[in-house]
Amino acid sequence: MSSTPPNTTRARFEGKAVVVTGAAQGIGAEVARRISAEGGRVIIGDRSPLAKDVVAEIEERGGQAHFFECDLEQFDGAATLAEYAVSTLGHVDILINNVGGTIWTKPYEQYGVDEIEQEVRRSLFPTLWGCRAFLPHMVERGQGVIVNVSSIATRSINRVPYAASKGGVNALTASLAFEAAAKGVRVVATAPGGTEAPPRKIPRNDGVLTDQDHAWYQQIVDQTVDSTYVKRYGTLAEQAAPILFLASNDASYITGTVLPVGGGDQG
């Protein structure tokens, strides 16, 4: 195993205290690895103990990382994560809110009321709670960066509740950035498009998928590829790089921006 992932430096996050949520797999795990490779001290907040594997990988490469198990769909989970991060690292420079992901994929009229509520709780509330829990600490210090991970799926098919949740993340990013800029805190977001990733370690839901479920999901794949200019899914590295840029001092004059990372699809 190489000492660092490819295309990284040691400069941008040297000594920075960074919290990454939802980093047991996928984009979040890639972000945590790369921030560590560039010198950051990382805390992963996730409700899955599988995040310990990412911490172990970071430590094997010589980085510093910690795992804190918490349910970020509840404010208490975000609040205890913030307390743990400050007590462990001394302060928090950067928060990356990455928890989210559509649970079901089907036409809107097929969703149950409870399913709609679960989708919003999964893909909007963790970012709302994360911002609320960490913001007072950053305001008190007069500095900090919050990077929210949204989605270009604000315009897509077969996942309307998820789209509405990510639209909320976009609005939160713009409005909070307006409030927080004078207090020294930047708030930005990326909006990933379709992303190639290893098979999920944690299923989005526990249900058995029918042929119809597979067909509805394939419609999402087809629409996603058709909507991009480059006609392909992105890679984890291609999604992590813009997140790291926005989190770094290279983006010090950028706030309130939601950056689409969807091969040309603007969402």
pTM of the full structure: 0.94
d(CA 128, CA 148): 10
d(CA 82, CA 98): 15
Three-class secondary structure of residue 44 per DSSP: strand
Mean pLDDT for 107-113 is 98
Q: Is the pLDDT of residue 211 over 90?
A: yes
Residue 8 is predicted with a pLDDT of: 56
Lookup: tokens for 115: 């399913």
Q: What are 177-193's pLDDT values in tens digits?
A: 999 999 999 999 999 99
Q: Is the pLDDT of residue 104 over 90?
A: yes
Question: Which of the pair, 158 or 199, is modelled with greater confidence?
Answer: 158
Nearest Cα to Cα of residue 267 among 173, 203, 145, 131: 173
Q: Is the pLDDT of residue 208 over 90?
A: no
Residue type, 260: P
pLDDT interval class at 4 (50, 70, 90): low
pLDDT interval class at 26 (50, 70, 90): very high
Residue 233 is predicted with a pLDDT of: 96
Q: Is the pLDDT of residue 205 over 90?
A: no
Residue 9 is predicted with a pLDDT of: 57
The residues, any chain, with a CB within 8 Å of residue 204's CB and separated by 6 or more, are 101, 102, 103, 104
Mean pLDDT for 224-228 is 94
Containing 94, the helix (H) or strand (E) segment is strand 94-97
Per-domain residue ranges of the chain: 17-261
Three-class secondary structure of residue 20 per DSSP: strand
Q: Is the pLDDT of residue 248 over 50?
A: yes
d(CA 196, CA 219): 16
Tell me the catalytic residues. 162
Mean pLDDT for 157-166 is 98
d(CA 219, CA 215): 6
d(CA 139, CA 103): 34
Q: What are 30-87's pLDDT values in tens digits?
A: 999 999 999 999 999 999 999 999 999 999 999 999 999 999 999 999 999 999 999 9
**% pLDDT > 70, the chain:** 96
Residue 153 is predicted with a pLDDT of: 96
Question: Residue 206 — φ and ψ, nearest 5°?
Answer: -90, 0
Beta bridge partners of 189: 148, 258
Alpha-helical segments (H) within the chain:
26-37, 51-60, 75-89, 113-123, 125-141, 160-180, 211-227, 236-247
Per CATH, the architecture of 17-261 is what?
3-Layer(aba) Sandwich (3.40)
